[in-house]
Chains A and B, each alone.
Chain A
Amino acid sequence: NMSLSEKDKAAVKALWAKVSKSLDTFGGEALGRMLLVYPQTKTYFSHWPDLTPGSNPVMVHGKLILGGVTEAVSKIDNLRGGLLELSELHAFKLRVDPSNFKILAHTIMVVIATMFPKDFTPEAHVAFDKFLAAVALGLSEKYR
Chain B
Amino acid sequence: MVAWTDFERATIKDIFSKIDYEHIVLFLCLCLIVYPWTQRYFAGFGNLYNAAAITSNPKVAAHGKVVMQGLEKAVKNMDNIKATFTELSTLHSEKLQVDPDNFMLLGDCLAIVVAAQLGKDFTPEVHAAFQKFLAVVVSSLRRQYY
Point out residues on A near B: beta carbons under 8 Å: 29, 32-33, 36-38, 53, 106, 109-111, 113-115, 117, 120, 122-123, 125-126, 129
Assess whether A110 is in contact with B128, with CB atoms less than 8 Å apart.
Answer: no
* Complex: A111 Cα to B119 Cα, angstroms: 9
Cβ contact within 8 Å between A122 and B55:
yes
- The reply to whether A113 and B30 contact each other, CB–CB distance below 8 Å, is no
Bound together, the chains give a CA A110 to CA B125 distance in angstroms of 13
- What is the count of residue pairs linking A and B with beta-carbon distances less than 8 angstroms? 60
Known: A36-B128, A109-B112, A117-B117. A125 touches B33 (CB 8 A): yes
Q: Provide the bound-state CA to CA distance between A57 and B108, in Å.
A: 27
- DSSP class of A's interface residues: helix, strand, loop or mixed? helix
Inside 8 A of B119's CB, which chain A residues have their CB?
114-115, 117
Query: Considering the chains assembled together, what is the distance between the CA atoms of A87 and B15 in angstroms?
Result: 39
Instruction: Evaluate contact between B127 and A123: CB separation under 8 angstroms.
Output: no
Complex: A109 Cα to B122 Cα, angstroms: 13
Chain A residues whose CB sits within 8 angstroms of the CB of B115 once the complex forms? 110-111, 113-114, 117
The reply to whether A129 and B125 form a contact with Cβ atoms under 8 Å apart is: no
Smallest CB-CB separation from A106: which chain B residue? B108
Complex: how many Å from CA A129 to CA B117?
Answer: 20
Within the complex, what minimum Cβ distance (angstroms) separates A122 from chain B?
5
Give the Cβ gap from B39 to chain A, nearest Cβ, in Å: 13
Assembled-state Cα–Cα distance A38/B29 (Å): 26
Return B128 CB to nearest CB of chain A, in Å: 4
B91 at the interface (CB under 8 A from A): no
Q: Which residues of A sit under 8 angstroms from B19, Cβ to Cβ?
A: none
Asked if B131 is at the interface (CB within 8 A of a chain A CB), the reply is yes
